Structure 1
Amino acid sequence: MPHAFTKAWNARNADQLAALFEPDAEFVNVTGLWWHDREAIRKAHAYGLERIFNESTLSVSTVRMKPLAADVAVVHARMRLSGQSPVAGVDRPGERTTIFSFVMRRGEDGWLCASAHNTDVVPGMETHVAGPDGLAPTRYQS
């Protein structure tokens, strides 16, 4: 799944990406946007791949799979994103590392994703704190 996802992403093919998901799949992105079916996942990624990530490259570095049953597995993948589009005064957005969680289920059409969640990795931080300027990564340990 992680390699098929990155292949579709790097090809800017939202249809191919959405085809990896069950019709009623769930997807939560890094900011907490939550899409509730394959078409919503396709539409959101079509927009993102056109406007936000149109020159980006996504790559997989680490994958771990945990079978839960003969036809269900959880797949975690560490991924690296580079080349995000400039925005809000950031001319060259830096590289990001994320961890994807995919809940996979084998059905008549093979393995499809039932649910996915993407989380940004913020090195050295333990949590986020909500303040007057929004969320800020922080750590409590000194």
Structure 2
Amino acid sequence: MQAVSHAEMRAAAEELARVFTRTWNMRDGPGYGEAYWPDAELVDPTGQIWGDRDAIAQMHVDLWSGPGRTTEATARVRRIRPIGRDTMILDLDVEVKGFSPAPPGAQEHGDRTIKSHLKHIVEKRGSDWKIVASQNTFVAAMASK
């Protein structure tokens, strides 16, 4: 298999950021989960580990269905780092507005905005790029000044 181009990785990264934003804002748990490989793992900002695509999708469905959980997210690609011919580290900067109350451990950055850094390991299998591992870390309010 030939190594993929940086342009292909960039396109995949941008698409994953769009999928994150679209599925979060539509409260589409199955769609959100489709960005992950079935054997994926997510470590959320509280340190809880979600062990596969179905668990990751269901956790988000549960998050969005809680009281005061009318939120709107945006995600942008901060960095792409190839680590193999079909694997990359994708860093997303995420802002979510509207949490009430804020999730455990999160600090608001004004206008009820929570910021986090999502670090994904993304792998190409066949023609699809999907997340195999993810770490989400809240940004402390003082760090954004």
Structure-1-length-normalised TM-score: 0.77
User: Which one has the bigger helix percentage?
Assistant: 2
Mapping for residues 97-112 of structure 1, pairs under 5 Å: 97-112=115-130
Comparing both chains, which one has the higher relative contact order based on Cα–Cα distances under 8 Å and sequence gaps of 6 or more? 2
Name the amino acid aligned to 1:20. Answer: A
AA matched with 2:61? A
**1:65 is aligned with what amino acid?**
I
Q: Which residue of 2 aligns with 1:70?
A: 85
CA RMSD, Structure 1 to Structure 2 (Å): 2.2
Between the aligned residues of both structures, percent identity stands at: 23
Name the structure 2 match of 1:84.
99
Q: Which amino acid aligns with 1:6?
A: T
What CA distance in whole angstroms lies between the structure 2 residues aligned with 1:85 and 1:123?
17
Is the 1:86–1:93 Cα contact (8 Å) retained in structure 2? no
Cα distance in structure 2, aligned partners of 1:45 and 1:109:
26
TM-score scaled by length of structure 2: 0.76
Distance 1:61 1:39, change over 3 A: closer
Would you tell me which structure has more strand in proportion to its own residues?
A: 1
Change (3 A) 1:53 1:70: farther
Gaps of 5+ in 2: 1-15, 103-109
| Contact 1:64-1:75 at 8 Å conserved across structures | yes
Q: Contact between 2:77 and 2:90, CA under 8 Å: does it hold in 1? A: no
Alpha-carbon distance between aligned partners in 2 of 1:37 and 1:109, rounded to the nearest angstrom: 21
Aligned-residue offset at 1:55: 1.1
Q: Does 1:8 align with 2:23?
A: yes
User: Match for residue 28 of structure 1?
Assistant: 43
